[in-house]
Chain A
Amino acid sequence: GQQLNQSPQSMFIQEGEDVSMNCTSSSIFNTWLWYKQDPGEGPVLLIALYKAGELTSNGRLTAQFGITRKDSFLNISASIPSDVGIYFCAGQLTGTASKLTFGTGTRLQVTL
Chain B
Amino acid sequence: DVKVTQSSRYLVKRTGEKVFLECVQDMDHENMFWYRQDPGLGLRLIYFSYDVKMKEKGDIPEGYSVSREKKERFSLILESASTNQTSMYLCASSTWRGGWNGYTFGSGTRLTIV
Contact = CB atoms under 8 A, between A and B. Distances in A.
Nearest to A43: B105
A105 B90 CA distance: 15
A33 B19 CA distance: 32
Interface of B: 4, 9, 31, 33, 35, 40-45, 48, 50, 58-60, 90, 92, 94, 96, 100-108
A56 to B, nearest CB: 13
A contact residues, range: 20 to 34
Contacts, number: 66
A66 interface: no
A76 interface: no
Interface stretch (A13-21, A57-65, A67-75, A94-102): A94-102
A70 B15 CA distance: 41
B102 A105 contact: no
Given A1-B58, A104-B41, A44 B105 contact: yes
B65 to A, nearest CB: 18
B42 A88 contact: yes
A98 B94 contact: yes
Given A2-B59, A3-B44, A98-B96, 14 more contacts: A41-B107, A42-B90, A42-B105, A42-B108, A43-B103, A48-B101, A48-B102, A97-B31, A97-B96, A98-B31, A98-B50, A99-B48, A102-B42, A104-B42
